[in-house]
A and B are shown apart, each in its own frame.
Chain A
Amino acid sequence: MKKWVSAMLFYFAFCVRIEAFKFHKTQQTERISGSAGDVLEDDPVGRLKVFVYELPSKYNKKILQKDPRCLTHMFAAEIYMHRFLLSSPVRTLNPEEADWFYTPVYTTCDLTPNGLPLPFKSPRMMRSAIQLISSNWPYWNRTEGADHFFIVPHDFGACFHYQEEKAIERGILTLLQRATLVQTFGQRNHVCLKDGSITIPPYAPPQKMQTHLIPPSTPRSIFVYFRGLFYDVGNDPEGGYYARGARASVWENFKNNPLFDISTEHPTTYYEDMQRAVFCLCPLGWAPWSPRLVEAVIFGCIPVIIADDIVLPFADAIPWEDIGVFVAEKDVPKLDTILTSIPIEEILRKQRLLANPSMKQAMLFPQPDQSRDAFHQILNGLARKLPHDTSVYLKPGNKILNWTAGPVGDLKPW
């Protein structure tokens, strides 16, 4: 019910012009008129207090120093969130009055030479961090982590593995069973998505996208646009495993179709091309989420989401069904029919909704932070979960979590 109300409020909110991110402010008011007050514009300051644990720098700063690439890859949200919280007005230095507790541990910063994070040490790192905070502060034991939140932006969140089968096998780290997880991964009925998690968009570099903006009067002449892999020849040569065969299906069905501008190239004009396209495909890869969604929203291209059961970022605040087009994986061969049969008013409406700057702002992690950006949306999400149910506060001596559960390898110290 709450979700509907907030969605409806969001619906009616588009008269409001918001000053944000230097986007084309000369936007004409085509929006659905109505009163203000939608969920995306809530200001979390004053609604919650966050206490940031002081962990030794081996958990955060030293890791970052070892590999500064962590600041630019798509998992950089964990680092920027830490920096944001340190200087944010919601931060409190008095843990007694804090509603939420944040543990700054960069679990996604162990990179291969290619720049991909390896999750093998992450469970141990997390475990070690939790052991530290539970022994140095009483707040963990008070609730066994129910008022703590962690940012786990890796492929399958707190399952800490890049391969889905293994991730499912591992499940969410036992110690995080009661905590709130802020993650990019979201898929309904999946082991790695806990109830009450907050789904966030992957990190996309705001300055880089800003420099590639083209005038909005440039006519959109590409119908469907996609750049990326269709077959992952390195890991799945025959196809059918990568993206559950959906990407390969897109290629096989539409490679000859002039309406579909799809290829595996990596052009320098990628961002500009997105701004000249009407639809941008956002199919799943090895994991259902992708930075393409963020890019599509920023550049005003209607996202065509091909990922069954996906949970999109800030799903309780952003009406994704109204903005994007959802196509079931089995319907991919009919994609052209589906897209051409959408009534033109729908398409124009989606474009108008996408043009709303508050939408774009909510997808970004700008530095320094700006109002209504993704950081604030995360805080909004946390604020909406308040107040904590009194049952989360455990009696002293009462233990729910099993500290020795999980694969043997996880129990080794880090």
Chain B
Amino acid sequence: MKQLTALQQQARRSNSFRSASLPLDTSVDGAIKSPATIFWLVLHGLCCLISLVLGFRFSRLVFFLFFSTSSPSATTNLYSALHTRLPSSITTSPPAVNGTAVAVDGGSRVVVGRHGILIRPWPHPDPAEVMKAHHIIERVQREQRIQYGVKSPRTVIAITPTYVRTFQTLHLTGVMHSLMNVPYDVVWIVVEAGGTTNETAALISKSGLKTVHIGFNARMPILWEDRHKMESQMRFHALRYVREKKLDGIVVFADESNMHSMELFDEIQNVEWIGAVPVGILPHSGGSEGVELSAVSREDTDKNENSEMPVQGPACNSSNQLVGWHTFNMLPFMKRRARYVGDRAVVLPRKLEWAGFILNSRLVWKDVEDKPAWVKDLDMVGREGEDIESPMSLLENPSVVEPLGSCGRKIMLWWLRVEARADSKFPARWIIDPPLDVTVPAKHTPWPDAPPELPTPVVKVISIPENTEKRVAKRSRKRSSRSKRKRVPKVLEEHVSTRHSGDN
């Protein structure tokens, strides 16, 4: 008895124990050596040997085929493929789902024993069903959002200043896609420097969002400082539009080249009047210098106690109240800062970027009773062309700003400025329509709008690939090293390469 228990204990690895292949007499307690037992033992041994040779349990198969112990419903063969007519059998849908289990086994017992493994003839997913499943998942997620997400979500009013240039498509598409994914209503106000153009209009019409395209009658300057000022003015212009039209919602300053995460839009729903989110600053530089730079700054941060965090945003004390502001430490970059658009140096942000502020649109409305006392009227600010650095200038008292993003600790927005040279050429709407619009004159023509302190021509040649593909860059470098007349072949290269890109 003990031996048997021990044997069974040994063999038992999971929640049950399969007896030896003999389905008959299983209780071997005190087995008497009768002829029948000996016969079965011999047969068992024989089956074992055959199984060893064949590689599977032969005896089971024999018993299966000859002495079918299970009921007809259970088995035919070990791996029987069931002939199910899949599409037509869908008619037995929901009402039958619960019913089948009950109806079939109303009186019958479930049989113990070996059953076949039912496999349908084409065990692969049906695309229609996959689509249905995705719809189900989508609906479930929507329900979850309704249940646990923001109650009574407000419209998001996104303000984006833009102007036509090489990188406009890249940046604007990025913002557009972010806004298209926002699960709330969005009104997108695009302010364009230099007046509205068809190029921009064509781009933003693809969004499917409610867009407002406003022109701003001034050209975007080349120097970064001037550009920042103009952008502020453009945003202000958009705020005037909000005021005029009495748009209701939450104002977000979605700069083109910034990167917004979806959590940002969920977080801003919590704003009451004016909130501040932490912005991750990514000071950019156009070449390998930039990589070096960031590596250097990281080293510095390791050494220093006060690590220079590339974050601009609210700072709180332990009781989550606003006590101050983090600003990005620009000192290490001051020497290498970019001065004009397209410069290969570090583009620095201002002290507090507009992007980090979220406004309730009612703040800019006129004649609203429940506007808080500490907000200045929009018309009062920005007169005489003074520079409006940030929405803080709308406030009398800066301490009313609500810190969002778990009090400045969770960064859901990154600030980045990447631009090509102001005079770089690109095909209009990025469609190559021969004959090419761009005709660049032959050698040694001075570039129009030459900014002051231009780099030397040599460098210029190599810098052009910034706005075309890398292929071009490689080719041009090779070429430039070979021939002396660098400009002409380079320019031809450009034509050729752009044509290639159009053919693709």
Q: Which residues of A contact B (CB under 8 A)?
A: 24, 26-28, 30, 112, 114, 116, 118, 120, 155, 162-166, 168, 187-190, 215-217, 219-221, 223, 229, 232, 234-241, 244-246, 248-249, 252-259, 278, 285-287, 308-309, 321, 325-334, 336-344, 346-348, 351, 409
Contacts and interface: CB of A to CB of B under 8 A. Distances in A.
Given A120-B5, A346-B94, A339 B133 contact: yes
Contacts of A252: 117, 119, 123
A202 to B, nearest CB: 12
Nearest to A164: B112
Nearest to B112: A164
A249 B117 contact: yes
B109 A155 contact: no
B147 A216 contact: yes
B9 A245 contact: no
Contacts of B148: 24, 26, 215-217
B84 A334 contact: yes
- 5 closest Cβ pairs, A-B complex: A234-B13, A333-B120, A217-B148, A245-B115, A340-B132
Contacts of B306: none
A220 B14 contact: no
B245 interface: no
A163 B78 CA distance: 21
B107 to A, nearest CB: 8
B18 interface: yes
A256 B124 contact: yes
A120 B5 CA distance: 8
Nearest to A239: B117
A287 B16 CA distance: 9
B449 to A, nearest CB: 50
B129 A340 contact: yes
Given A326-B98, A347-B136, A220 B118 contact: no
A112 B89 CA distance: 47
28 contacts: A162-B12, A164-B112, A168-B112, A189-B109, A190-B109, A216-B144, A217-B144, A223-B137, A235-B13, A238-B78, A239-B117, A240-B78, A244-B74, A245-B118, A257-B125, A285-B15, A321-B98, A327-B97, A327-B100, A327-B101, A331-B100, A334-B120, A336-B126, A336-B133, A340-B133, A341-B94, A344-B139, A409-B1
A347 B94 contact: no
Nearest to B124: A256
B331 interface: no
B40 interface: no
A409 B27 CA distance: 12
B104 interface: yes
B126 to A, nearest CB: 7
A61 B15 CA distance: 25
Interface of B: 1, 5, 8-9, 12-19, 26, 29, 56-57, 60, 73-75, 78, 82, 84, 86, 89-90, 93-94, 97-98, 100-102, 104-105, 107-110, 112-120, 123-126, 129-130, 132-133, 135-137, 139-141, 143-145, 147-149
A114 B144 contact: no
Contact of A258 (B12, B130, B145): B130
Nearest to B104: A328
B207 to A, nearest CB: 23
Nearest to A258: B125
Q: Which of B19, B100, B140, B145 is packed against the most chain A CB atoms within 10 Å? A: B140
B118 A219 contact: no
Contacts, number: 206
Contact of A254 (B18, B123, B141): B123
A285 to B, nearest CB: 7
Given A162-B16, A309-B105, A343 B110 contact: no
A70 B110 CA distance: 31
Contact of B137 (A187, A278, A332): A278
Contact of B130 (A237, A259, A286, A329): A259
B183 to A, nearest CB: 11
Nearest to A300: B144
Contacts of B101: 308-309, 326-328
Contacts of A328: 100-101, 104-105
B129 A221 contact: no
Contacts of B113: 241
Given A28-B147, A337-B89, A340-B133, A351 B16 contact: no
B17 A336 contact: no
Contacts of B82: 333
Contacts of A287: 15
A44 to B, nearest CB: 30
B394 to A, nearest CB: 33
Contacts of B14: 116, 229, 232, 234-235, 286
A351 B78 CA distance: 38
B16 A245 contact: no
B370 to A, nearest CB: 27
Nearest to B101: A326
Given A188-B105, A249-B118, A325 B133 contact: no
A247 to B, nearest CB: 9
A256 B141 contact: no
A217 B149 CA distance: 6
Contacts of B12: 112, 116, 118, 162, 235
B118 A332 contact: yes
A327 B93 CA distance: 11
A236 B18 contact: yes
A235 B129 CA distance: 36
Given A309-B101, A337-B90, 15 more contacts: A116-B15, A215-B148, A223-B137, A258-B130, A278-B136, A278-B137, A326-B102, A327-B100, A328-B100, A333-B84, A336-B125, A337-B89, A337-B126, A342-B97, A347-B136
Nearest to A244: B115
Contact of B140 (A244, A278, A336, A338): A278
A344 B86 contact: no
